[in-house]
Each structure stands twice: as C-alpha cells, then as structure tokens.
Amino acid sequence: MVLGYRPALKAGDMAPPSGESPLGNRLDPHLSRYAKRTHGMTASEIRSLFAVASRPEVVSLAGGMPNIAALSMETVSSTVANMLATRGQVALQYGSGNGDQHLREQICEMVGLQGIAPHPDDVIVTVGSQMALDLITRIFCDPGDVIIAEAPSYVGALGVFRAYQVEVEHVAMDEHGLNPEALRECLKTLAAQGKTPKFVYTIPTFHNPAGLSQPQDRRMEILQICQSAGVLIIEDDPYGLLGFDGHIPQAIRSHDSDGVIYLGSFSKTFAAGIRVGWAVAPHGVREKLTLAAESAVLCPPAFSQLTISTYLDTQPWMDQIKIFREVYRERRDATLEALTQYMPEGTTWTHPTGGFYVWVTLPEGMDGTAMLPRAVTARVAYVPGTAFYINGDGRQSIRLSYSFPEPDRIREGVRRLGGVINEELKLMHTFGTLGVARPSVSSQGSTPGPDVV
C-alpha cells in the first residue's frame, strides 16, 4: 500500500470523523486490524512514573534486577573467549529447537539439587523462563479458559495470561504461601460452575512478589489437592538456589514427574542478559513446547546457551551462587532493619529467607497506587500491589526489591518511603478520605495478599 493511501468509502459506509481513517485513527491507522487478544495489551498506568524513577537521584526499590556487580566480568570475558575458541562455529549457527544437548544434561544436574531427576529429553531450553510461560499458556489455553494463580502473583505471568485471554482465578496466600484450603474452595467453586482449570501457577520458593516460601508439607498438600482434581501444576522456580541459609528446598516436581511442569532460569544465578531459561516437562508436553518454540523463534540462541554451558563446565558456579546469596542477604537485612526503624505503626511486611523481595502492607485505608506519584516526588520508587493482581486488588500493598541497590542506598530509600507514608497518614487524618484504598469492582472476588509482620 502506498504511504498515505486511504481506501475509498463503499456505498453505505459511514464517513470517519475528520482526520481519521476508516481503518483506525491518526495515531494508529491499523487499529481495526488487530486481533481481539490485543485489547488486553494496555500500557501500565505507572510506566511514565518509572521513566522518572530511573533517574539517579531516585532510589528505586522497584525493579527486581540481579546484582551483576557481584559477578566477575573477567570470568565472563574469559568464558566467552574460551567458548568462541572451542565452539565458536557452533555458537554462531542455528541449533536444536529444544536446546543444546550438553546444556540440557547440565540443567538435569542442576535441578538435581532440588530433588528432580529428569532425562535430558524432558528439558527444553527457552529464552528465559518468561518464554516458557508463554509457550505453556499457548499450548494449553484457549480464550476463556481458566487457570488458578496465587494472589498476589508474578506480574510477568499475569501479562501472559491476559495476552492469551485466559480467565485468572486468584487464590489467597498466608504466611506459608499458597493456602491449601483456599485452593480447595476455588476448585470446588469452579467445579460447581462446570469449569476445570487448565493449571495452577505457583512460585513456591522465595515468591515474587511476596518473598514467602512454602514449607515441604505445604507443597505436598498442594500437590495432593491438584492430583485429586486432575489439575496440572506450573512450578516457577527462578530463586530456588538463593536461600540465605544455604538450604535448597525440594521442588514439587521432585514428587511428581507427570503432573508438574518445572520452570527455571539462569537470570538470577548467572546473568539476566544472557536470557536462558528452561522447562522440565512430561515427554508429550515437551514435544508440544518444542513445536511451539520452533514456530516462535526457530531455536534458542546458541551463543547464549554455549556461554552458559562453558561457564558451568569451567567455573566454580556454586561458589558464585554463594556470593550472590551473601550479597542478597546483606541487602535483605538492610531492608528489614530500615523498615523496622522508619515504618509507622500499622505497617507490616514479610521476612524473606531468600530471593529478591519484601511485600509491605500499608496502614489501614492507604492506597499504594495513589501514593506512588508522591513517593517518586520524594525520590523513592516501588511497585504498587495492584500490579500483582489480575482484578485490581492489592491497593494496600507494595513490593520492595532489595536485590540491586547498595545497603546504604536501601536504607535511604526506606527512610524516604517512611516519610511519604507518614505524610499520607497525616493527610488521611486531616481530610478523612484522601488516599483511602478503593474497593475492586472485579467480579472475581477479593483475594488479599499476605499480611505478615
């Protein structure tokens, strides 16, 4: 089509408003051509604020970025040089749709730390575990299908579910993670409506955003509930090796190789920019995932895969993970100490034993989404709790990430945040309704996040 060409109106067509094409508008002339599933692809109301939050004078406790400063660039450089010298022509060529064979063998050794014993053929390498989430939803879910997810839940997963027009039923968490009784009740309610969920999505270890972990007996109970209901579990585990006491929890997948798909990633244990993740799946599912991956990217990048593989072969990678644990534990401690020092009465928070995040519940009546512009003005940023719910809940909560800033920077950020919350409380006491959390209008019901001191 020639740039600027507008098709002539047919008889009976209504003329578009001045300045608009019959196929769209001035900003996007292709508006009417998009698939229905794009209607859920809306820009976040806080995106513009995060553009401001990236300024150096703002302490960002928002993004969950790994602390790459703890990784030796000399080690990375020598690893890449070694890889290119020994396997360069393979690294720069197309590869297998399900990933490099040797890397899949190495992944099998890694997940053995969580009690999983897969065959390399059960593993598919993906462009980060986010791609695995997308592929799983693509092969299992039609528009209108139902899945179950914790409340709150990983924002990236919720974005995938929205994109595929999936109905998300939230299940509440308590201080031990996904609540089994709430899960039973949700399954019972769905069954009464004639609905069977395609899967249950859970992050059992060092949860994003809540920072909680399911004890082993809780994991077994959730597995038994899903087995009885015939429901698949998607176990997302990017933080499993980052426990501050060195303990590595056993994965749900270690108890059921047919009813659980296990997702992992090198983003937190090596480098996020490498973009290498994986899924361990039952054989039939793995075949479907491979076909879906080939249609999306043909094959995962060989360069990234062989860099990771060479690193695992030649470097003491568990020693590096221990360094990461110490770095994140120091920052977790700084966060909890600062919260204790600066948060006003009525504020509560989780106490993570690993991972990147603290989930903060604000004093009664406060709205973390409404407060964010004032926080950014005070030069501190966080993620409002509403980002982690499909239905607009979570307004009284916020997520703080301690993984990236230095400890003193974290303390300063929490100090600024405490000042903002205190000012909000003063305004509430003066005006009564300013900043009061608004009730959700969703029909999916209220599913409060964890409220743990």
Work out the angle between the directed axes of helices 180-192 and 216-229 (0-180°, nearest 10): 10
d(CA 302, CA 90): 7
| Domains along the chain with CATH numbers | 47-70+319-431 (3.90.1150.10), 87-316 (3.40.640.10)
Whether omega for the bond prior to residue 120 falls within 30 degrees of 0, making it cis, is no
**What is the pLDDT, as a whole number, of residue 9?**
39
Q: Which of 387, 378, 382 is nearest to 424 (CA)?
A: 378
**What are the contacts of 15-21 at 24+ separation with CB within 8 A?**
none
71 beta partners: none
- What is the chain's pLDDT, residue by residue, as a tens digit (453 residues)? 333 433 443 444 444 444 444 455 567 888 888 888 787 676 665 566 667 767 889 999 998 899 999 999 999 999 999 999 999 999 999 999 999 999 999 999 999 999 999 999 999 999 999 999 999 999 999 999 999 999 999 999 999 999 999 999 999 999 999 999 999 999 999 999 999 999 999 999 999 999 999 999 999 999 999 999 999 999 999 999 999 999 999 999 999 999 999 999 999 999 999 999 999 999 999 999 999 999 999 999 999 999 999 999 999 999 999 999 999 999 999 999 999 999 999 999 999 999 999 999 999 999 999 999 999 999 999 999 999 999 989 999 999 999 999 999 999 999 999 999 999 999 888 887 544 444 333 333 333 333 332
- The pLDDT value recorded for residue 28 is 82
Apex CA 104: angle with CA 98 and CA 105, to 5°?
Answer: 150
**Tokens at residue 44, please?**
């976040």
Q: For residue 365, what are its two tokens?
A: 């009546």
249 closest CA partner among 218, 209, 208, 280: 218
Tokens 């179950």 belong to residue: 148
CA of 305: how far to CAs of 75, 92, 118, 166, in Å? 16, 11, 19, 31
Token output for 275: 């973009």
| Residue 48 φ/ψ, nearest 5 degrees | -65, -30
Distance, in Å, from the CA atom of 197 to the CA atom of 17, rounded to the nearest integer, reads: 44
Whether 307 and 274 have beta carbons less than 8 Å apart is answered as yes
pTM: 0.88
The length of the chain in residues reads 453
C-alpha distance from residue 280 to each of 135, 208, 326, 419 (Å): 13, 20, 28, 46
Which helix (H) or strand (E) covers residue 200, if one does? strand 199-202
The Cα 286–Cα 253 span in angstroms is 15
Three-state SS string across 351-420, please? CCCECCEEEEECCCCECHHHHHHHHHHCCEECEEHHHHCCCCCCCCEEEEECCCCCHHHHHHHHHHHHHH
Contact between 241 and 320 under an 8 Å Cβ cutoff? The reply is no
Sequence letter at residue 257 = S
